[in-house]
Amino acid sequence: MDRTPSGISGLDSIIEGGFPKGRNFFLSGSAGSGKTILSMQFVYNGAYKYQEKGLYVSFEEPIEDIISDSSRFGWNIQKMVDEEKLKFLYFPMLKKDFEENVFDLLSTLVKQIKENKYQRLVIDSLPAFGMAFNDYNKMRKELFLLLHEIRKLNCTTIVITEKPSGDIGLTHFRVEDFLAQGLIMLHLGHTYRGIEVRKLRGTNHSTDVHRMRIGEEGIVVYPGDHPY
Ligand SMILES: Nc1ncnc2c1ncn2[C@@H]1O[C@H](COP(=O)(O)OP(=O)(O)OP(=O)(O)O)[C@@H](O)[C@H]1O
Ligand SMILES: [Mg+2]
Q: Is 34 within a domain?
A: yes
Encoded amino acid at 137, one letter: N
Name the closest-CA residue to atom 6, ligand 1.
Answer: 214
CA of 39 to the centre of ligand 2 (A): 9
172 close to ligand 1 (CB < 6 Angstrom) = no
- Please write down the long-range contacts of 66-71, taking CB distance under 8 Å and 24 or more positions apart: 66/36, 66/40, 66/124, 69/36, 69/37, 70/37, 70/40, 70/44, 70/218
Confidence (pLDDT) at 94: 67
Distance set, CA 1 to CA 178, 181, 202 (Å): 22, 14, 8
Confidence (pLDDT) at 88: 97
Q: Give the structural domain span for 42.
A: 3-222
Q: Is 79 within a domain?
A: yes
CATH, residue 51: 3.40.50.300
Name the closest-CA residue to atom 25, ligand 1.
Answer: 31
133 close to 141: Cβ distance less than 8 angstroms? no
Q: Is 160 within a domain?
A: yes
Confidence (pLDDT) at 105: 85
**Nearest ligand to residue 37 Cα:** 1
- Please write down the long-range contacts of 99-103, taking CB distance under 8 Å and 24 or more positions apart: 99/132, 99/133, 99/134, 99/135, 99/138, 102/132, 102/133, 102/142, 103/142
Mutate to test the pocket of ligand 1, among 28, 35, 77, 162 (most ligand atoms within 8 A of CB): 35
**pTM given for the model:** 0.95
Q: Is 228 within a domain?
A: no
Q: Is 193 within a domain?
A: yes
34 close to ligand 1 (CB < 6 Angstrom) = yes
Confidence (pLDDT) at 17: 97
188 close to ligand 1 (CB < 6 Angstrom) = no
Q: Is 227 within a domain?
A: no
Name the closest-CA residue to atom 17, ligand 1.
Answer: 36
Q: Is 40 within a domain?
A: yes
CA of 67 to the centre of ligand 1 (A): 13
Q: Running along the chain, 228 residues long, what does each successive block of 10 average in pLDDT? A: 96 97 95 97 98 95 94 96 96 74 86 97 91 84 88 95 79 75 94 96 94 97 92
214 close to ligand 1 (CB < 6 Angstrom) = yes
Mutate to test the pocket of ligand 1, among 36, 186, 216 (most ligand atoms within 8 A of CB): 36
Residue 223 phi, psi dihedral angles, 5° rounding: -60, 135
- Domains in the chain, number: 1
